[in-house]
Chain A
Amino acid sequence: MSETRTIAVTVNGVRHEATVPVRVTLADFLRHQLRLTGTHLGCEHGVCGACTILFDGRSARSCLMLAVQADGHEVMTVEGIAADKKVLHPLQEAFRDNHGLQCGFCTPGILTTLIELLRDNPDPTEEEVRIGISGNLCRCTGYHNIVVAALDAAKRLRQLT
């Protein structure tokens, strides 16, 4: 029998109480139990970065955490980036306008990673952006337009403040 625990976790500002098998990863909990399928699973061993979420405001790979570890903590997924469903976040707009994605599989992890990067460093250099997303694999773009989009997003966000 699979051991379970009841956890309370705030995801994108909404508190959820759920019973989870203790071995379930945070990524699978988000996708299967909360039905937040924006968090993508590529490699499931911490290499590709597609499952990156913000855990208490810090980027983390949700495939390398257990759901029980999120008890009492705050998680933000790609679904929580935009303030409401009708308006894209400036980072997302910059990705759309600069062709910063092709198939889109890696995009959720890259967006969450960049939310943290641009929060901590609002005016990054190109090199800082490249190092910042070095833990995210993209097999389509060659990264160029992702970097362009990130720098454009930084500019848009600076103009807002």
Chain B
Amino acid sequence: MKPPLFSYHDPRTPADVVGLLGSLDNAKLLAGGQSLMPMLNMRYVLPDHVIDLNRVDGLSYIHEHNGALDIGAMTRQRDIEFSDLVRQRCPLMHEAIVQVGHRQTRNRGTLGGSLCHLDPSAELVSVAAALDAKVAVIGKNGARSIDFSAFPVAYMTPALDLDELLTGVTFPCWPAGHGHAFVEFSRRHGDFAIVSAAVLIEEDNNGKITRASVTLGGMGPAPVRASEVERALIGETINDKRLREICEPLRKLDAVDDIHAPASYRRQLATVLPRRALLKAHERILAGRRA
């Protein structure tokens, strides 16, 4: 249970990181270390070089810009948890992040680390999918932006070139008055979700849904947007019976079968959790209007 031998690099600028990535073979980036360090300790990964991002300047920030939150890749999950801006402008992310690990891991774990590790049921990965986030990366050919829908290319594999560094993420905010809920089922508090549902809705004054985002995490290699359910919700008013009908087709989604749960159980959760999340989001809209 000790890390393998490697060379250690602690660059100070994003450009230096890109330079190292371009010149070193078999290098791994070390962000908050809450996934990579266990993998090193258990020798699931054997990098020749570890490039530590913890001394790189300028990658930790939370700003509001053009109706979106820009969050730096090395922003600690704890800083997202305690950000008033996140709580006000992106309450879905706040509700999700308190379900990420524990205080001790959120103190170190980062946004960028979680997205690049790309665990299929990681909460922040689902939030990025739910909000149509854009991922900013730099590489030797300069900067580019990747729509989050195109970011996961395979199981735990982000759409990054070998010399690219994720520098920040833009999360478009929904207008004040929207409803949100992040609901997950896990065996213990702090565990990765077996299945999670991230939901955002807007309703008109008559309670009819005008916009919906429904994301399921934990079903397959990457979170899935339930676009048919999103379309079916438009024009509906929220009630339990109707939601059961609308969410039932989610039982047909592909689901993985593993040590944590059989596929059939995941499909059952896929019909239940979005309904619970939609009810909660609706209640929050009503509570906001009463306030």
Contacts and interface: CB of A to CB of B under 8 A. Distances in A.
A68 B190 CA distance: 28
A2 interface: yes
A60 interface: yes
Nearest to B7: A3
A64 B37 CA distance: 5
A61 B103 CA distance: 10
A28 B104 contact: no
A3 B8 CA distance: 8
A92 interface: no
Interface string A22-62: 11110010000000000000001110010010010011110
Interface string B187-203: 01110000000000000
A23 B54 contact: no
A5 interface: yes
B104 A66 contact: no
Interface string B34-62: 10011011100000001010100000000
A126 B30 CA distance: 36
B237 interface: no
A134 interface: yes
A111 B52 CA distance: 29
A55 B54 CA distance: 13
Contact of A135 (B8, B37, B42, B104): B104
A135 B190 contact: yes
Interface residues of A, number: 31
Contacts of B108: 55, 60-61, 64-65
Nearest to B33: A64
A117 B54 contact: no
A3 B3 CA distance: 13
B6 A23 contact: yes
B107 interface: yes
Interface size class on chain B is 20 to 34
Contacts of A68: 8, 10, 52
A58 B103 CA distance: 9
B1 interface: yes
Contacts of B52: 66, 68-69
A55 B50 CA distance: 21
Contacts, number: 92
B189 A134 contact: yes
B285 to A, nearest CB: 26
B2 interface: yes
B78 interface: yes
Interface in B84-132: 101-105, 107-108
A101 B55 CA distance: 38
A34 B52 CA distance: 24
Contacts of A79: none
B5 interface: yes
Given A23-B4, A69-B54, A46 B105 contact: yes
Interface string B1-27: 111111110100000000000000000
- Most chain A CB atoms below 10 A, which of B42, B54, B103: B103
Contacts of B4: 23
B41 A132 contact: no
B104 A61 contact: yes
A45 B38 contact: yes
A113 interface: yes
Interface in A58-116: 58-61, 63-66, 68-69, 113, 116
Nearest to A52: B104
A66 B101 contact: no
A58 B30 CA distance: 19
Contact of A113 (B33, B101, B104, B190): B104
11 contacts: A2-B5, A23-B6, A25-B37, A45-B38, A49-B104, A59-B107, A63-B41, A69-B33, A134-B190, A135-B102, A135-B103
